[in-house]
Amino acid sequence: MNSGAIDELALYRAERRVLDHQRKLHRWARNEPRKRFDDLFNLVCDQATLLVAWERVAGNRGSQTAGVDAVTRRHVEEDIGVLPFVEELRSLLRDGSFQALPVRQVAIPKKSGKPRLLGIPTLRDRVAQMALKLILEPIFEVDFYPSSYGYRPGRRAQDAIAEIHQLTSRSYEWVVEGTSPHASIMSTIRS
């Protein structure tokens, strides 16, 4: 086993702990719409949250792409170790000294031949962002309408299209406006 890898039992426990936090936050947000969530920082800095955030980021294809600090997943796992990496991030967050680094800008060619600019944050910044997402998403998810599809867990553009098709095939008349990274669409759909 790689010395930088996280023990499977520790990861399982971390995932369970984060899931429990998420369920409680979601339930509180749903049952008490006016509730203020004052102490989320401790949940973001929780070792379990940061371990799960690491696993999510490390599981992405982009984890081998370095930001301005030249650190990749392989570098963390082989040279630093995941737990020391997570503990250092946790310490920086807790003492208030964490500061996101500049985003590395890379131009990749599009099909048209024109360059597309991408911003690549450092791995450390991506883990911090994921930790925030893990804690904030269950709170804000409650406020979305069931018909909202953009950037939500378990929802895709294809799901929105399927719902539009189902509704328009039942004699509904709608004006649909939407955007995609490739084109902007607006049309009137009539059955």
Residues 14 and 53 occupy one common structural domain: yes
* Three-class SS state of 145: coil
d(CA 113, CA 3) in angstroms, rounded, equals: 43
Per-residue pLDDT tens digits for 81-121: 999 999 999 999 999 999 999 999 999 898 998 999 999 99
Which range marks the domain in which residue 162 is found? 157-190
What is the average per-residue pLDDT within 108-136?
Answer: 94
Residues 128 and 169 occupy one common structural domain: no
Please indicate whether residue 10 or residue 6 has the higher confidence score (pLDDT). Answer: 10
Residue 140 confidence (pLDDT) above 50 = yes
Residues 167 and 92 occupy one common structural domain: no
What is the average per-residue pLDDT within 149-163?
Answer: 78
Is residue 117 in a domain?
A: yes
Residues 162 and 134 occupy one common structural domain: no
Residues 90 and 181 occupy one common structural domain: no
Residues near 90 by beta carbon (within 8 Å), at least 6 away in sequence:
45, 47, 50
Residues 123 and 169 occupy one common structural domain: no
Q: How many domains does the chain have?
A: 2
Given this model, what pLDDT does residue 182 score? 46
Residue 52 confidence (pLDDT) above 80 = yes
Residues 110 and 184 occupy one common structural domain: no
d(CA 73, CA 80) in angstroms, rounded, equals: 10
Q: What are phi and psi of 177, to 5 degrees?
A: -125, 135
d(CA 19, CA 14) in angstroms, rounded, equals: 9
Is residue 16 in a domain?
A: yes
Residues 96 and 22 occupy one common structural domain: yes
